[in-house]
Amino acid sequence: MIDNWPILSIITFMPLAGVLFLLLIRGDNETVAQNARNVALWVSAFTFLVSLVILIGFDNAVTGYQFEEQRVWLGDTGISYHMGVDGISMPFVLLSTFLTPLAILASWRSITSRVREYMIAFLVLETMMVGMFVSLDMLMFYLFFEAVLIPMFLIIGIWGGPRRVYAAFKFFLYTLLGSVLMLVCMLAMYIDAGSTDIPLLTTHEFAAGMQTWLFLGFLASFAVKVPMWPVHTWLPDAHVEAPTAGSMILAGVLLKMGGYGFLRFSLPMFPMASEFFAPLIFVLSVIAVIYTSLVALAQSDMKKMIAYSSVAHMGFVTIGIFSLTEQGIAGAMFQMISHGLVSAALFFCVGVVYDRLHTRDISAYGGVTAVMPRYAVFFMFMMLASVGLPGTSGFVGEMLVLVGAWQANTWLALFTATGLVLGATYMLWLYRRVMFGQVVSAEVQAMEPMQPRELGIFVPLTILVLVFGVYPMALLDVMDVSIQFILDDLAAGGVSLLAAR
């Protein structure tokens, strides 16, 4: 019976139903705020529970899309309401529905003004994120992809730090500029193929010359989203100014939209151009990995440091994807999911101490281990996961990417591996300065220990990072068939795959 339910539509639009509830709340400010928190948490938690239906019902062995829904939207113009998930998008859907309740929980105490509006923004954001991952129509994808900007712009701009206006504008305009170039390419694709249906476009063969331009247009959008060097500069600003929960979602899900886009559009639809431009992507990614790691070393702001580390980690993702090997792509996917969990946790780590001391300056901290021992354990675990310690999910992703990179080019693998060393350097150094040593001030001494609410956010994240680290097949099995499908598609598109050599 449940097979006939439009389960993806339900998951996508359930948060919007929560928004309606939020609009109906009446009462004085404090009541409204508390009720808004509760409604948002329950709605997002319930959405997560419903999204588990896809996890349970998902068949790893099936090629193509599952839970498909297709309805008439714009008549017979080749544009329809089409949703579905495969091994590539399914993990991201769950990542989005999983992180949203945690992000809402993370803002429980730190957001005190305009709580209702804040929760509305988060629920709308969840709808947009999920909708983007389940869309199987290019126009629908674009609608969700762009609409994400609206709630995020408001989250940064209204509830952000002192330079929030600058950061919000930079975030919005940077991303928009990339996206509109993609839009022009989408128009050209629609005209060429007569449809915006993604499965249909995947089988449509675009002329070689056209592929080049289309690839560059999509690159303009996805490179900003990932973000790749040199268009990453919006990210540190956005992260530093965004509230903790905003950073969690930004790093956890929004950055993955670029990588997802590469896998959904660039590789299957423009195979020849993907092969042609792979060296360019490698160069940009290697610069991202090494350069931004060095920049991260020089930061005095904790959030900025983790933001730069995100750029470096996403460099691994793009290298993995464009190695065009099975291991590389699987590694990139794994790295994205892992980074989604780990970076969200790390930003929350910063948020926990920021809520207490109201500064993110590394030098203001020291000896936190003595004051907050349980916090120290979680922070250390997430820090090590970020570095790629075996047994955590970070290790699997980076390892697989390196294997893929090695097959593509030995030098590439060498430079990429440098990033691992640098990553370990700045993360360990950060941890030493913040957590170890003498308690530097009375303020640090007075920091209250972790609350159960904070524990409730760390525990699920930790469990998942550990599970994926110890038993990576849980995730790899899900993606395997879909990755194989992309590789077959590449081969059919005239790309001589390394694995075949």
Contact residues for another protein (CB under 8 A)? 72-75, 77, 117, 139, 142-143, 146-147, 149-150, 153-154, 157-158, 164-165, 168-169, 172-173, 176-177, 180-181, 183-184, 187-188, 190-191
Query: Closest distance between another protein and the C-beta of residue 255, in Å?
Result: 20
Query: Closest distance between another protein and the C-beta of residue 116, in Å?
Result: 10
Query: Closest distance between another protein and the C-beta of residue 8, in Å?
Result: 17
Q: Which two tokens stand for residue 253?
A: 């899900």
| Neighbouring C-beta atoms of residue 498, cutoff 10 Å | 15
Question: Considering beta carbons, is residue 158 or 481 the nearer one to another protein?
Answer: 158
At residue 117's C-alpha, the angle toward residues 111 and 123, to 5°, is 95
Question: Considering beta carbons, is residue 63 or 77 the nearer one to another protein?
Answer: 77
Query: Closest distance between another protein and the C-beta of residue 213, in Å?
Result: 9
Question: Considering beta carbons, is residue 118 or 458 the nearer one to another protein?
Answer: 118
Q: Running DSSP on this structure, what letter comes out for residue 75?
A: T
Question: Considering beta carbons, is residue 37 or 170 the nearer one to another protein?
Answer: 170
Question: Considering beta carbons, is residue 49 or 74 the nearer one to another protein?
Answer: 74
How far apart are the C-alpha atoms of 209 and 207, rounded to whole Å?
A: 6
Question: Which residue type is seen at 474?
Answer: A
Please, is 176 exposed, middle or buried when counting C-beta atoms within 10 Å of its C-beta (0-12, 13-18, 19+)?
middle
How far apart are the C-alpha atoms of 296 and 289, rounded to whole Å?
A: 11
Per the CB < 8 A criterion, the answer to whether 115 and 33 are in contact is yes
Query: Closest distance between another protein and the C-beta of residue 172, in Å?
Result: 6
As a whole number of Å, the CA-based R_g of the chain is 22
How far apart are the C-alpha atoms of 247 and 125, rounded to whole Å?
A: 13
Q: How far is CA 304 from CA 24, 30, 33, 152, 194, in A?
A: 38, 33, 30, 18, 45
Query: Closest distance between another protein and the C-beta of residue 75, in Å?
Result: 6
Question: Considering beta carbons, is residue 77 or 418 the nearer one to another protein?
Answer: 77
CA-based nearest residue to 81, from 91, 69, 90: 69
Query: Closest distance between another protein and the C-beta of residue 383, in Å?
Result: 34
How far apart are the C-alpha atoms of 22 and 16, rounded to whole Å?
A: 10
Widest pairwise Cα distance in the chain: 70
Question: Considering beta carbons, is residue 76 or 448 the nearer one to another protein?
Answer: 76
